[in-house]
């Protein structure tokens, strides 16, 4: 990453006005990574078009990005962007969407844009809920999760968007979280440079809604960090060394009682901590010294089972880099074939 | 199609006219009875250096059209009833963002799938009120293959002139009919007004037309285009005064130009005692019926609307003062007749001849109704 001062990015790329985002929202981080990416690529701002749909993610570029923005209807950003990109393929077109916007109401456009391999970079901000409208279940909400529209637990299971979009034919697919700003910035650059459909999912914190969804009890100013901890504990980066001496103890009953039981064993080589994971809920993270016999913890009455270091976690990283005919180039080929140049 | 006389399909006349009017972007989704527009575009658009896209649905089609318009294209989509219903939200977006584009609805018989292959005129209120919110719409209604051509050209010119989506309300009868078409050597086109200064406000103007200049993407205008209520600069602002300013202006720019937009054909109307009012395919038997009524010595006249919206209220109002009966003939359960009743306001008897089922009213049916009131 370059060492330009924050002020430079603000003055060059950001439309000056009060931020509409909640304190601690992940959107600012994503905007920051995006403007750094286009700056590092040296793309003139006038060539950039940001298209977005409806939801908090849509407000990342509109009105914050001080360039051309098209803030469209719910879920349809990719279809709008397709028209603009086809007619003016010089536009470096980036779509900002959310999990509800992009994978729920706009899911059809997402898979078809990937299938066409149109040269658009899509940044999908995943906060696992419809956050702007009040925290309802989204197609990315975990099974069993409690929200305002799943008060008895979510009866649905979430999409794995990386698998979905990979299967649909995207030629660059990555997933990061707002914890991984360096990797995310690099992926946005790679996505823009990819001559085809690039999809970058970003797991992002929403302190306003996720406090309820993940059942985090803390003061407001600590919430963003707490949600990021949830994301951190629920993910691992593909290809990085596995931290072998970690287990996650899933409780039979109360997680607090289980932690007390683990602590009462007074094992000097073990540290335990209550953490929240979006796949497993409140669990106790147990870090043991090398060679520790996990059977002693597993044998406890209050422990349902132990999860391995990365078991059940969501994988982050770059998943697809491929080459396939790009849509707008194919359209220009058709015009040449028809003699319309 | 070369300039000159052709035996042409209505839908093909529409597509050819679009290309001649400067359309260089078409996005659509297969639907009967509008398919031939797509087929013709797929063959001929690339020959003119333009883009033909088959999208994943009608929602995406109109969305792509709007995106392309902001990238500088004269753009069009074509569909029929079910697809037209799907497009409504984004048509509202086009109204709110003042995006020039043309939407062709080759109307078929509904509700729902209905009679997929058969014509109707059931979507005329959907054209007027289909999207949520308040707006005025321009909707044209062709009655022949030639008018499929002529009114498509006009639709593009009106869209560019007023920076608004324009509806071409064709029907399965006109779209699927082959008839004489004269393709002119040259069609007159109107281009959208681009920015005359760098700080132009894309959503506000002092111009008496109330139509703002339209900057395009990629030209350094830092455009904020949003369907949310916005200030003249494009900045989102939900304040009541900005919403009132916006909605009043986009309505007023159409209403103010009603005289320029309005287009109708009158036959034998000057001394008429009964006026037959119709549009599109259903106007064809009316024309013949009025001629025969005249032969029978009945003072019948004929008013054919080529613009449905804005409704030529002044014209209908004057007629209500003149005639004893206004007879509205249409292929739906009686939609335009409500508007005519509203405008006539009791000054003349208003008679409805409505026909559904995917069939045209016959000359005899119209004539019989004329005899009934005269």
Domain spans in chain A, listed from the N-terminal domain onward: 6-234+315-336, 243-309
pTM above 0.90, yes or no: yes
- What proportion of chain B, given as a percentage, has pLDDT over 90? 99
Residues A318 and A173 sit within 8 Å (Cβ to Cβ): yes
Which CATH code for domain B4-183?
3.40.50.970
pLDDT for res B289: 98
The whole-number average pLDDT for the span B176-186 is 98
| Contact assignment for B70 to A70 by CB distance below 8 Å | yes
pLDDT tens digits along A235-261 = 999 999 999 999 999 999 999 999 999
The whole-number average pLDDT for the span A157-183 is 98
CA-based nearest residue in chain A for residue B91 = A73
Domain B263-373 has CATH 3.40.50.920: yes
**B5 or B198: whose pLDDT is higher?**
B5
pLDDT for res B242: 98
Q: How confident is the model at residue A212 (pLDDT cuts 50, 70, 90)?
A: confident
pLDDT for res A310: 97
Residues A243-309, CATH architecture: 2-Layer Sandwich (3.30)
| Alpha-carbon gap: A157 to the closest alpha carbon of chain B (Å) | 25
The whole-number average pLDDT for the span B247-269 is 97
| Alpha-carbon gap: A284 to the closest alpha carbon of chain B (Å) | 46
What ipTM is given for this predicted complex? 0.97
Per DSSP, B334 falls in state S
Whether B150 has a pLDDT exceeding 70, the answer reads: yes
pLDDT tens digits along B321-349 = 999 999 999 999 999 999 999 999 999 99
CA-based nearest residue in chain B for residue A55 = B228
Identity of the residue in B45, B56, B67 whose CB atom sits nearest the CB atom of A70: B67
B342 forms bridges with which residues in the sheet?
none
The tokens describing A102, both together, are 């992009």
The whole-number average pLDDT for the span B115-123 is 97
The whole-number average pLDDT for the span B278-283 is 98
The whole-number average pLDDT for the span B269-288 is 98
Helix A77-87 / helix A107-116 crossing angle, nearest 10 deg: 30
| Contact assignment for B224 to A49 by CB distance below 8 Å | no
pLDDT tens digits along A273-315 = 999 999 999 999 999 998 899 999 999 999 999 999 999 999 9
* Residues in contact with A138: Cβ distance below 8 Å, sequence separation at least 6, in sequence order: A99, A100, A103, A104, A128, A129, A130
- Mutate which of B64, B96, B99 to test chain A, going by most A C-beta atoms within 10 A? B64
pLDDT tens digits along A121-131 = 999 999 999 99
pLDDT for res A2: 55
The tokens describing B213, both together, are 């200049």
Residues B135 and B251 sit within 8 Å (Cβ to Cβ): yes
Identity of the residue in B60, B69, B72 whose CB atom sits nearest the CB atom of A109: B60
- Compute the distance between CA of residue A308 and CA of residue A275 in angstroms, rounded to an integer: 15
Whether A331 has a pLDDT exceeding 80, the answer reads: yes
pLDDT tens digits along B38-75 = 999 999 999 999 999 999 999 999 999 999 999 999 99
CB count, 10 Å around CB of B250? Answer: 23
Can you tell me whether residue B176 is helix, strand or coil?
coil
Domain boundaries, chain B: 4-183, 263-373
- Report chain B residues whose CB lies below 8 A from the CB of A56: none
pLDDT tens digits along A37-67 = 999 999 999 999 999 999 999 999 999 999 9
CB count, 10 Å around CB of B319? Answer: 23
Whether A83 has a pLDDT exceeding 90, the answer reads: yes
DSSP letters along A283-339, please?
A: EEEEEE-TT--THHHHTSTTEEEEE-TTTTPEEEEEEEE-----HHHHHHHHHHHHT
pLDDT for res A19: 87
Of the candidates A262, A244, A338, A256, the residue with the CA atom closest to the CA atom of residue A299: A262
**Chain B contact present for A127, CB below 8 A:** no
| Contact assignment for A62 to B69 by CB distance below 8 Å | no
The whole-number average pLDDT for the span B147-170 is 98
A246 forms bridges with which residues in the sheet?
A287
Is B4-183's fold the same as B263-373's?
yes
pLDDT for res B198: 83
The 8 Å CB, 24+ separation contacts for B46-50 are B46/A334, B46/A335, B46/A337, B46/A338, B46/A340, B47/A338, B47/A339, B47/A340, B48/A340, B48/B19, B48/B24, B49/A335, B49/A340, B49/A341, B49/B24, B50/A335, B50/A340, B50/B19, B50/B23, B50/B24, B50/B25, B50/B26
Whether B258 has a pLDDT exceeding 80, the answer reads: yes
- Compute the distance between CA of residue B22 and CA of residue B191 in angstroms, rounded to an integer: 9
Residues A6-234+315-336, CATH architecture: 3-Layer(aba) Sandwich (3.40)
């Amino acid at each position: 990453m370059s060492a330009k001062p924050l002020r430079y990015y603000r003055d060059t790329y950001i439309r000056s006005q009060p931020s509409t985002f909640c304190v601690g929202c992940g959107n600012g981080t994503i905007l920051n990574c995006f403007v750094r990416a286009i700056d590092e690529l040296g793309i003139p701002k006038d060539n950039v078009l940001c298209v977005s749909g409806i939801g908090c993610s849509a407000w990342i570029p509109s009105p914050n990005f001080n360039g051309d923005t098209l803030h469209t209807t719910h879920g349809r950003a990719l279809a709008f962007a397709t028209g603009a990109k086809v007619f003016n393929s010089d536009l470096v077109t980036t779509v900002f969407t959310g999990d509800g916007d992009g994978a729920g109401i706009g899911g059809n456009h997402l898979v078809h844009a990937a299938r066409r391999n149109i040269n658009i970079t899509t940044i999908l901000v995943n906060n696992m809920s419809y956050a702007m409208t009040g925290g309802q279940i989204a197609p990315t909400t975990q099974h069993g999760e409690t929200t305002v529209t799943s008060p008895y637990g979510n009866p649905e299971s979430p999409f794995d968007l990386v698998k979905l979009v990979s299967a649909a034919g995207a030629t660059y697919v990555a997933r990061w979280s707002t914890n991984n700003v360096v990797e995310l910035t690099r992926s946005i650059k790679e996505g823009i440079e990819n001559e085809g459909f690039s999809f970058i999912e970003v797991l992002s914190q929403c302190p306003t809604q996720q406090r309820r969804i993940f059942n985090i009890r803390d003061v407001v100013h600590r919430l963003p960090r707490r949600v990021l901890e949830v994301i951190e504990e629920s993910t691992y980066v593909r290809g990085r060394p596995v931290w072998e001496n970690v287990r996650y103890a899933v409780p039979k009953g109360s997680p607090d009682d289980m932690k007390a039981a683990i602590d009462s064993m007074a094992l000097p080589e073990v540290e335990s901590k209550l953490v929240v994971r979006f796949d497993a809920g409140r669990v106790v993270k147990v870090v043991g010294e090398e060679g520790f016999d996990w059977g002693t913890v597993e044998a406890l009455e209050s422990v349902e089972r132990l999860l391995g270091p990365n078991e059940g976690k969501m994988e982050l990283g770059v998943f697809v880099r491929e080459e396939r005919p790009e849509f707008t180039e194919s359209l220009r080929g058709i015009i040449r074939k028809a003699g319309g140049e | 199609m070369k300039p000159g006389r052709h035996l042409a399909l209505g839908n093909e006349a529409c597509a050819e006219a679009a290309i001649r009017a400067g359309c260089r972007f078409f996005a659509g989704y297969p639907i009967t009875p509008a398919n031939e527009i797509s087929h013709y575009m797929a063959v001929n658009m690339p020959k003119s250096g333009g883009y033909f896209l088959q999208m994943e649905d009608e929602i995406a089609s109109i969305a792509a059209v709007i995106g392309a318009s902001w990238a500088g294209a004269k753009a069009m989509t074509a569909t029929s009833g079910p697809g037209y219903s799907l497009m409504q939200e984004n048509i509202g977006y086009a109204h709110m963002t003042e995006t020039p584009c043309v939407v062709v609805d080759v109307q078929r018989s509904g509700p729902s799938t209905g009679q997929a292959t058969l014509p109707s005129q059931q979507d005329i209120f959907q054209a007027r009120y289909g999207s949520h919110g308040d707006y005025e719409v321009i909707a044209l209604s062709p009655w022949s293959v030639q008018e499929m051509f002529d009114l498509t050209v006009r639709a593009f010119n009106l869209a560019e002139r007023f920076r608004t989506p324009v509806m071409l309300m064709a029907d399965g009868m006109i779209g699927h009919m082959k008839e004489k078409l004269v393709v002119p050597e040259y069609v007159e086109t109107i281009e959208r007004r681009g920015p005359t200064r760098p700080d132009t406000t894309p959503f506000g103007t002092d111009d008496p037309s109330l139509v703002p200049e339209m900057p395009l993407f990629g030209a350094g205008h830092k455009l904020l285009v949003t369907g949310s209520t916005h200030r003249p600069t494009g900045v989102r602002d939900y304040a009541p005064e900005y919403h009132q300013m916006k909605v009043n202006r986009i309505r007023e720019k159409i209403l103010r130009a009603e005289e320029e937009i309005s287009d109708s054909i009158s036959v034998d109307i000057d001394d008429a005692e009964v006026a037959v009012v119709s549009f599109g395919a259903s106007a064809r038997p009316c024309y013949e019926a009025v001629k025969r009524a005249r032969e029978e010595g009945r003072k019948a006249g004929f008013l054919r609307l080529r613009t449905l919206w804005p409704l030529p209220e002044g014209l209908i109002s004057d007629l209500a003062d003149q005639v004893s009966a206004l007879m509205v003939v249409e292929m739906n359960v009686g939609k335009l007749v409500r508007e005519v009743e509203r405008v006539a306001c009791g000054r003349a008897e208003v008679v409805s001849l409505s026909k559904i089922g995917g069939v045209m009213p016959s000359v005899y049916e119209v004539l019989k109704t004329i005899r009934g009131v005269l």
